[in-house]
Amino acid sequence: MSNVSPGVFTKIIDLSTFVQAVPSTIGLVCGLTEKGRDNELIFVGSRSDFISEWGSPDIKDFGKLYGQGPYIAYNFLGESGALYWMRCLPQDAAFANIKLNASFGPSDSSASIVVTYVDAVNSKIELKSNLEATGTTYPLAIIYPIGRGQYYNQIAIRLTEYSNPTVFGVYVLDVYEKQTDGQDVIIESFNVSFEPTATDSAGDSMFIAYVLSTYSTVVRCEMVLPNEEYSEGYKKAVKVYDKNMGYITIDLTNGSASVMDNKQDFTDWKTNPETGNANYSIIAKDSRGNTIWGWLGDVVGSDETMIGIFPERNLTGATRGWNGDVVNFDLTMDVNYYIQMSVSNIAAPFITAEPMPLRKGSDGSLRSSTGGVVSQQAELLLEQAYSGLLDDTILDTENVYFTLVFDAGYPTDVKTAISILCQTRRDCVAITDNGDNSTVNSALSTRSNIHPYNSFYLAIYECFSKVSDPFTGEDIWFSPMYHMSYLLPRNDNVGELWFAAAGFTRGAIDSIKELRFNPRLGQRDQMYLKQLNPIVKFSNGYVVWGQLTSQAKPSALQDLNIVRLVLYCKRALEQYCRFFIFEQNDPITWRQVATNITGFLETIKVRRGLDSYAVEVGASDYERKTKKFHVNVRLQPTRTVEQIELNFFIE
């Protein structure tokens, strides 16, 4: 827009753009655990966060073939605070749960709260569906764990009325977990209300669904039906239809019991005593916490600010009066009242010696009738996880970014799914093992016949090693992924991602007690030709002695460090160039892009990632017509040393 009249007109033009670095060490592991959210890709930032939700690794839970995933995740998080994790469970696994129901018949004087359990709840949609009312039973809420599985049957809860007697509708929710000695111990405690509008003194919500979803690492609560309406149990037993409005006067006398509120209109809550059952109840509290309650009859007088109170729901022939501690109720101090459809105590079922356990949790077809792991189902689940069939966000390259995808000693079909994932996304590399082979010849045969992968997006390591497991206290044979899961992020921390995570500087291992086999020089030559990266024991320790990808074609992309460098540059430049979509397709734009990319690559060169590079940006006449311009980036990565020729000249 051009201005006509005189004046000073200002524009701010940003010339400070640059190619931003992107995270280089983000891992992905899919695995099996006893607890935690399932079939959902979750970003985890620390070991403590992982253990808090999914528990400590334990090889005994799912065995060597399927139980190494948590170890890989734990080791990776020890060096990098950036991991995507997915716990896998079959669709027929079930939520443990406790269902709270309000039982409220036509002639009942109050709603009783009853605890029941729901069988075979496989999804959150089914949880919502079980809040539908049936007959005189009105479900109030379902409390359930954050994930499915039989583990959560050892979780229990207790609701207790809040200790402050003047507070209405607030409960203390204690969450218990059974310990190894069989005792239930409180692991979480919250002040909650079943009223969605309830707040604490600081103004924060006390609604149970909000509190648990925000602060609990164990349980959740559902009170909303599939149609997004609150449960009928809430409307019958919890919902406050009105409360004190102005100056309140209460008559406690039998025969004339009433409430007067000079700012209230009781018309919506009244019931004609001649019609039978009252529709609404009233609960009043004094400042000491003494409680009285009754049923609302007809209004008294003509201005509808006073209403009669009856002790029974059936008003036919009844005399006005109150229930509760009428004798000690103090009318000289502040009084509050609430209008509800019934009088109920949600905590009543929990007044027992033991907390109320969650039940009906199941691992589904992942476990046999005897509790063992069903191998076929476990393998299928892991394959589906890496294929994006359990959570397709794993395939979302725009919003989900990871650079290293780890195998964990899994069967071949799972390794294949990992390989396909990386080739599909084209922004990450797969780090896999070759299975548990007892000899070099067996490893070579497995590589040729079972794992004939040929891709620069995948690297294969050998062999399994014996390690002291700090969680079980036993010596366990682990996949080489156990070590690569911390060596690769450690390499990026102490060096650069384009350095090789191999050799004595960045590939030394201290924790190995024994190798399945220790390849000699000639055997290492054979493994090199098959693109197998061995862990080797030399006289001065164990060390990763290879960093090849599985690509058979000789090229720079046979080296893992170079592939990681290229993918890093690819991601950074893709992110940068996106900001030039819809800019003018002219030499000014091309020059700006070329200048900033050159500055980015020069930084990598200074940090020893590149020997040289070239950048050319522009557009042919045809490209300009089709609204395109090209960015040609030529890289000459700095190669690693694999052989040293030590020559002696004697004169």
CA distances from 75 to 39, 56, 504 (A): 22, 12, 20
pLDDT of residue 166: 62
Cis omega (within 30 of 0) on the bond before 88?
no
> Would you state the pLDDT for residue 342?
85
Write down the pLDDT at residue 168. 79
Neighbours of 507 (CB within 10 A): 24
How many C-beta atoms lie closer than 10 Å to residue 392's C-beta? 10
- pLDDT tens by residue, 550-568: 999 999 999 999 999 999 9
Q: Residue 436: its pLDDT value, please?
A: 97
Cβ(309)–Cβ(258) below 8 Å: yes
| The pLDDT of residue 1 is above 60 | no
The tokens describing 272, both together, are 């004609």
Amino acid at 372: G
| Structure confidence at residue 2 (pLDDT) | 65
Token representation of residue 432 = 């896999």
Band (112; pLDDT cuts 50, 70, 90)? confident
Neighbours of 197 (CB within 10 A): 10
Q: Are 227 and 236 in contact (CB under 8 A)?
A: no
Using a pLDDT cut of 90, give the percent of the chain over it: 80
Name the strand (E) or helix (H) holding 594. helix 587-606
Q: How many CA atoms lie within 13 A of 301 on its CB side?
A: 13
Distance CA 574, CA 590 (A): 15
Using an 8 Å Cβ cutoff, are 307 and 298 in contact?
yes
Stretch 253-267: mean pLDDT: 93
pLDDT of 9:
74
- For residue 103, pLDDT beyond 90: no
CATH number assigned to the domain with residue range 27-83+367-561, chosen from the 4 options 3.50.50.60, 3.40.50.11780, 3.40.50.720, 3.90.76.10: 3.40.50.11780
Average pLDDT, the chain: 93
405-429 tens-digit pLDDT: 999 999 999 999 999 999 999 999 9
Residues of the chain with CATH 3.40.50.11780: 27-83+367-561
pLDDT tens per residue, range 160-190? 988 776 677 899 999 999 988 888 999 999 9
Question: What is the model's pLDDT at position 244?
Answer: 87
**143 and 151 in contact (C-beta within 8 Å)?**
no
- In angstroms, the Cα distances linking 459 to 17, 219, 395, 550, 629 are 36, 40, 20, 5, 34
Q: What is the C-alpha separation between 345 and 365, in angstroms, rounded?
A: 39
pLDDT in tens, 584-602: 999 999 999 999 999 999 9
pLDDT at 329 over 70: yes
CA dihedral 376, 381, 386, 389 (to 10 degrees): 130
Q: What is the pLDDT of residues 453-485, one digit of tens each?
A: 999 999 999 999 999 999 999 999 999 999 999
d(CA 459, CA 436): 16
